[in-house]
Amino acid sequence: MDTSPLCFSILLVLCIFIQSSALGQSLKPEPFGRRAQAVETNKTLHEMKTRFLLFGETNQGCQIRINHPDTLEECGFNSSLPLVMIIHGWSESVQFSRSHVHLIGYSLGAHVSGFAGSSIGGTHKIGRITGLDAAGPLFEGSSPSNRLSPDDANFVDAIHTFTREHMGLSVGIKQPIGHYDFYPNGGSFQPGCHFLELYRHIAQHGFNAITQTIKCSHERSVHLFIDSLLHAGTQSMAYLCGDMNSFSQGLCLSCKKGRCNTLGYHVRQEPRSKSKRLFLVTRAQSPFKVYHYQFKIQFINQTETPIQTTFTMSLLGTKEKMQKIPITLGKGIASNKTYSFLITLDVDIGELIMIKFKWENSAVWANVWNTVQTIIPWSTGPRHSGLVLKTIRVKAGETQQRMTFCSENTDDLLLRPTQEKIFVKCEIKSKTSKRKIR
């Protein structure tokens, strides 16, 4: 093989550095003037000492400057020639501990980081590897030695954001590959990345909108990790769960025995023999954090037929209030059945102190039901449709606080169509309710 300078350019990378993670900026190319100005503005935040040197036929180490694409031309970069990238390591004489090394790999780079970790000899592993939506094709289902795995570092965490399959393949790997594997919004697809969002992407990215829409979910893993650095005080919490369906029912909001962890840079590093799959919901844009709540409601349906209906809840907290959150409970409300569901809030409302629960069906439904019962006098059911709702139980995922809410009007527990009832904090003791209004 001819290795003369005429055949290829050599890019000597003295260090790997993801400048967008430090500055919280987009990964897409931007016009030189605006990008350079942004870097200049943030110069005091981070003085970059990374050097990228290009070796070719006409130069012996020309420096390429980040965010200055004109330096590629100045250094004589020829895109028609093969490119060899040489990434240096470190000298053992420096006495640098491998446990201080943190490799972050995106897509295929996640597996490359794994290979780097597994190939290091000696008794000590590198400290941490983070896989950001590690590539799926050719790696899904492969043995640990052929992909990123928990054996590649002292601690391995992975974020899965685009595991939806197309023709049997997914862009991101679906199987667990770390000590902690995070699946935001189930991991298959991400909010704000649907093709229905194309018009919004056109406004933001212009002609690059289609490309941005296609890679939106895959690249979301990078932005989630960056978000954990930019908003260190409001970390996104994830919870151990079997699947997203169970999580959507609010059944997995437990932090006992390490069942929850923070997503991103500040993850609690606990190497375990078995991978843990954690789920969470996020917003469509930064800051991505939401607040998770489990609601458990038991109805007494006074009819023999399940009632098809929808509800809304308004929540009042010590900090904020949320108005009319829509709720749909399966195919119909059956009697003496407990319904559990997940509610997420974009803002911290503080401690929940009051719930307004409303039956949103129109009065037409109630009139039809009452008319039918009048026409059929032998009906054994009640003449007025309604649901008895005694208590609402709530668990806050982020604070792990459990609360019970009872109807403010204990003399009338019947909830009718279009009616709204107020529930306040109470304590349940020996099947009796003692209300505490706060």
Q: What is the pLDDT of residues 222-231, one digit of tens each?
A: 999 999 999 9
Per-residue pLDDT for 215 more than 60?
A: yes
| Residue % of the chain over a pLDDT of 70 | 72
The domain that holds 328 is classified in CATH as 2.60.60.20
Per-residue pLDDT for 251 more than 50?
A: yes
Q: Is 411 a catalytic residue?
A: no
Tell me the average pLDDT of the chain: 80
The span from the CA of 246 to the CA of 340, in Å, is: 10
| Structural domain ending residue among the three candidates 280, 313, 345 | 280
Active-site entry in 107, 149, 228, 385: 107
Q: Could you tell me which residue, 49 or 207, shows the higher pLDDT?
A: 49
Q: What is the mean pLDDT of residues 32-47?
A: 47
Count of domains observed in the chain: 2
Whether 44 is in a domain gets the answer no
What are the structure tokens assigned to 211, written together? 């490309």
One domain for residues 239 and 115: yes
Q: Measure the N-to-C terminal CA separation of the chain; round to a whole number of Å.
A: 80
Q: Is 88 a catalytic residue?
A: no
Known binder of ligand: residue 2?
no
One domain for residues 88 and 196: yes
Whether 204 is in a domain gets the answer yes
One domain for residues 339 and 306: yes
The span from the CA of 292 to the CA of 74, in Å, is: 52
> Which domain, by its residues, includes 318?
291-372+384-425
Q: Is 218 a catalytic residue?
A: yes
Active-site entry in 9, 111, 113, 133: 133
Known binder of ligand: residue 51?
no
Predicted pLDDT at 20: 35
Question: Among residues 174, 177, 180, 193, which one has the least CA distance to residue 237?
Answer: 180
Name the band, by pLDDT with cuts 50, 70 and 90, for residue 189: very high
Q: Could you tell me which residue, 197 or 191, shows the higher pLDDT?
A: 191
**In this predicted model, what pLDDT tens digit does every residue of 349-395 receive, in sequence order?**
999 999 999 988 654 555 555 555 555 554 454 444 678 888 999 99
**In this predicted model, what pLDDT tens digit does every residue of 4-32 receive, in sequence order?**
433 433 333 333 333 333 333 444 444 43
Spell out the alpha helix ranges (H) of 68-160: 70-74, 108-119
One domain for residues 238 and 114: yes
**In this predicted model, what pLDDT tens digit does every residue of 51-93 receive, in sequence order?**
888 887 766 789 888 888 899 888 888 888 877 776 666 655 6
One domain for residues 193 and 342: no
Active-site entry in 218, 227, 228, 407: 218
